[in-house]
Amino acid sequence: MMHFLLLFSRQGKLRLQKWFTPIPEREKKKIVRDMTTMVLGRKPRSCNFLHWKDLKIVYKKYASLYFCCGLDAEENELLALEVLHRYVELLDKYFGNVCELDIIFNFEKAYFILDEFLLGGEVQETSKQVVSRSIEASDMLQEAEIDNSDYDLELGWP
């Protein structure tokens, strides 16, 4: 399973952090520091895989953002690269030519998209279209609710 997923900029500023295991706040900060130092210190054409404690770290740079995840030792690193890529594709589809600013100003949407793609550290849906459709439907539900802000939404959509 994936233990955590971090997005940070070239300057080491955190843009998104998703933790799939319970870790104390101080630990989390330390892990983020370690990851940023390790990943930002890599030479440009290095291999995308690292070892850190007993985890495999897989990272990929997309424009100015680093996507970094920590995996169990038995995970398939090449597939993890595909997972990161799929997430980027989903963000791209949603925001239309996504850039770092989109993720900064709409961070909660980035989380919502992530939560439709990964669950409990595992991939939950392997089809890009299904994930995109779910996000759209959730957004529509939210919009409808805001429009109908007079009454609560009890009945659901199929």
Residue 130 within binding range of other proteins, rule CB under 8 A: yes
SS3 category, 88? helix
CB-based contacts of 80, cutoff 8 Å, min separation 6: 2, 56, 58, 69, 71
- The DSSP secondary-structure symbol of 41 reads T
- Min dist. Cβ of residue 63 to other proteins (A): 18
Residue 145 within binding range of other proteins, rule CB under 8 A: yes
- Min dist. Cβ of residue 68 to other proteins (A): 15
Rounded Cα distance between 30 and 153, Å, is 42
Nearer to other proteins, 24 or 96 (CB): 24
SS3 category, 148? coil
Token pair 């319970």 in the structure block, residue: 22
Contact footprint for other proteins (CB under 8 A): 1, 14-17, 19-20, 22-24, 29, 43, 45-50, 74, 76-79, 81-83, 85-86, 104-105, 107-108, 111-112, 115-116, 119-120, 122-130, 134, 137-138, 141-142, 145-146, 149, 152-158
